[in-house]
Amino acid sequence: MSLYYVKHEHSAETCPAKDPQMGAMLLTHISPMNARKFGVNIHGDAVLDGKHTFVLIVDSDNPANIENFMQPFKMAGSVEIIPASTCETVVERSGC
């Protein structure tokens, strides 16, 4: 599996957390069990306070799995999927 950094950004106007039903749906969507259905393993997530930015550290065999998993977030804003490595991997290969 390969590691990825995923960043979703949206405007204050399209913030899904403002709508209780949409917020609940997204929380269910990012549950580990649901993510696995897409072939995605979530290592961690965070929302940058006041920035309308949601980030994930995930792994998957195929970036297309992550693309499919992130579709609901594209309704509210942008999604960027960036290949990543653990710090240990970077040190082992002697560079970023």
Summarize pLDDT for 27-69 with one digit per residue, the tens. Answer: 999 999 999 999 999 999 999 999 999 999 999 999 999 999 9
What would the pLDDT profile of 64-88 be if each residue is shown by its tens digit?
999 999 999 999 999 999 999 999 9
Classify residue 31 by its DSSP letter.
Answer: S
CATH of the domain at 60: 3.30.70.1060
For residues 82 and 63, the answer to whether their CB atoms sit within 8 Å is no
For residues 25 and 95, the answer to whether their CB atoms sit within 8 Å is no
Number of domains in the chain: 1
Classify residue 50 by its DSSP letter.
Answer: T
Residue spans of alpha helices (H) in 1-96: 20-29, 32-37, 63-69, 71-74, 87-92
State the residue range of the domain holding 70.
Answer: 2-92
pLDDT at 95: 93
Distances (CA, A) of 43 to 10, 22, 59, 92: 22, 23, 8, 21
Asked whether residue 1 carries a pLDDT value surpassing 90, the answer given is no
d(CA 32, CA 38): 10
List beta partners, residue 95. Answer: none
Binning pLDDT at 50, 70 and 90, where does residue 92 land? very high
